[in-house]
Amino acid sequence: MDTGTAQRNAFVKDGYVVVPDLIGPEALAELDRMADRLLDGELKPQLPYEGHVPDHFYTFWEPAAEGRSDLPRRDRVRLMANMCRHHPYFRALVRHPAIYRVLSCLFGTGVRVFSDSLFMKPARHGIEAAMHQDTAFWPKIDPNAINFWLAIDPATVENGCLHVIPGTHGTDLPHRDDPVQGHVLSDKQVDVGRLIPLEMEPGSAVFFDSSLVHRSRPNHSARSRRAYAVVYGAETLRHVEPWNINTIAEATPSYEFELIEPPVGS
């Protein structure tokens, strides 16, 4: 069986597939540098989307650390988002041929991009991402979006790697609203005994169905955990519910799933 078929079979059955060493050492080293520059507040939006360049990238601060002037900025951030709309480096990164190849095989179509995020989990005080399905965060689309999550640092149980429940991508469960986390599931709604940690080396990635139940634990360790995540849609994507993305943190209301030009040679 070829690699693409094996990846697609795993994705259909379990709702996710891990791809080790997806991006090479040079691309990873550049992402490592750019991630720190972003977290340090050095990178600013440059590209307009529908004529608009925001003043800053969306930033969600670590609740316990936001006001701590004793900590560097990079240790106070939990998440930054929507760089791929407004910065040339991230615009190119979401179009990386190795990522596109896997996605076009999983979707069986061309690929659209919606948004990207840098998920930071600073050492010692990085908070959890409570258990959820990403489909709870936006109106229904068909087929579901695919989430891409790439480890920049080693992601381990100690520093808050992702945990997933294989095979939970068939049903969208009702979520409770939460002021910090957005939308969350309770332990009673799922079989927590089936949660498995996805420990990953830098440069390795997981592609998961946006209905897959997942979470990440707080980081009490001495090592921070950075990951770069992107939400992709199929070329054939259809909006089942009206697309009102005001539900997504500070996204320009007109952000849509944008069709990606296939990489040369694919």
Ligand X SMILES: O=C(O)CCC(=O)C(=O)O
Q: By CB under 6 A, name the binding residues for ligand X.
A: 119, 121, 129, 134, 147, 149, 214, 216, 227, 229
Q: Which residue, 212 or 237, has its beta carbon nearer to ligand X?
A: 212
Q: Which residue, 104 or 153, has its beta carbon nearer to ligand X?
A: 153
As measured in angstroms, the least distance from the Cβ of 192 to ligand X is 16
Per the DSSP assignment, residues forming a β-bridge with 129 are 216
Q: Is 10 exposed, middle or buried (0-12, 13-18, 19+ CB in 10 A)?
A: middle
As measured in angstroms, the least distance from the Cβ of 52 to ligand X is 26
Q: Which residue, 198 or 234, has its beta carbon nearer to ligand X?
A: 198
Q: Which residue, 6 or 18, has its beta carbon nearer to ligand X?
A: 18
As measured in angstroms, the least distance from the Cβ of 227 to ligand X is 5
- State how far the Cα of 26 lies from the Cα of 130, in Å rounded to an integer: 33
As measured in angstroms, the least distance from the Cβ of 99 to ligand X is 15
Q: Is 108 exposed, middle or buried (0-12, 13-18, 19+ CB in 10 A)?
A: exposed
Residue 2 makes CB contacts below 8 A (sequence gap 6+) with none
Give the tokens for residue 258: 């944008």
Cβ neighbours around 12 below 10 Å, total:
12
- For residue 15, give the DSSP letter: S
Q: Which residue, 116 or 266, has its beta carbon nearer to ligand X?
A: 116
Q: Is the peptide bond before 143 cis (omega within 30 degrees of 0)?
A: yes
As measured in angstroms, the least distance from the Cβ of 46 to ligand X is 25
